[in-house]
Structure 1
Amino acid sequence: MKAIRILLALCGLAALGFGVSLFLDYALPLRPDVIKTLVWLVGAPVVHDAVIAPVVGVGGLLLSRVVPVAWKVPVMAGAVLTAILTILAFPLLWRTYGAAPEPGLHDGNTWLGLLVTLAVVWALVVLTGVVRTVLGSGRKTRRPPRTASDSVRKGLRGA
């Protein structure tokens, strides 16, 4: 197992070295577009780690506290799908030709397509939440109350 890990690490380092050599071929000599590329390469992880990740974490924490048990899984799935679809549509929302042209890709209205897709996703979230509530799959909304015997058993295990 150790040999496989070492082999994978060497392959990863080789790929990293190849990527660095390709970037240096592009970047040297320095030009204004190279500076923009460096700002993007450094700025994107910083913005993600300083802004996007904390907002998503706090949003998920708030959702987990507010949403009933039967609705948690559908709402989490809907939130994840919303994020993924928005990320995929972002280049075309930002600029009309923000992605490589593919037949039929730029022919449609990106905003309308995204909104219709999100409406379908959230309609399914609501439908799933209603079905789970009606069927009672969310029956366990709280922990069962502790009894004295539970406390005694827990105390005996810890001793």
Structure 2
Amino acid sequence: MKAVRAGLVLSGAALVGYGGWLLWPQLPAAWTWLLAGPILHDVVVAPAVGIAGLALGRLIPDPARRAWVAAGLAISAVLILVGVPLLWRPQPAPINPGLHDRDYVRGLIVAVLAIWAGIFVSKVSRRLRHAGRPPGSTAPPTAPEA
């Protein structure tokens, strides 16, 4: 087992070295992106999502509903963070037909709306499934006696 582990460590180190070798010529231009991503996340996205979560936590009293909203905020933030490079600089290279000829702003808006529509539909369907049940009950509602 030690030989397998040592082989994995060595092969991983070799791949990291090869990646560094490939990155070295582009390092001056890459520093902007290597530093901007974590800084953008830590300075802008994480605090914005945290503040929105705290504000919505005070507005939404139900803990189950609050969890869904927090998940939607986190997914939306990650999606927006991934989409920022394409929105900021939509054509950094020669146009590749079928790849760069999309409307990224509209695609991002549709994706975020789909996330929130899915959260809304799941909450409404859950509420409809549990309609008529006493709070905390897992049994189906009973029919009234005639």
Q: TM-score, normalised by structure 1?
A: 0.58
Q: Which residue, 85, 98, 107 being the options, matches 2:79?
A: 85
Q: Percentage identity across aligned positions?
A: 37
- Matches of 1:66 and 1:4, distance apart in 2: 54
Instruction: Specify the alignment match of 1:120 in structure 2.
Output: 114
Structure 1: unaligned runs, 5 residues or longer: 28-33, 141-159
Partner of 2:30: 37
Q: Aligned-pair distance for 1:56?
A: 4.0
Q: Deviations over 1:23-54 (max 9, x none)?
A: 33x15xxxxxx534224324433443455445
Cα distance, 1:104–1:36 mapped onto 2, change above 3 Å: closer
Query: Matches of 1:100 and 1:73 in 2, distance apart?
Result: 43
Residue 16 (str. 1) matches residue 16 (str. 2): yes
Shift, 1:94, TM fit = 1.1
Displacement of 1:129 after TM fit?
1.4
Structure number with bigger Rg: 1
Higher RCO (C-alpha under 8 Å, 6+ residues apart): 1
TM-score, reference length from structure 2: 0.62
Give the CA RMSD over aligned residues. 3.4
Match in the other structure for 1:131: 125
1:149 corresponds in structure 2 to none
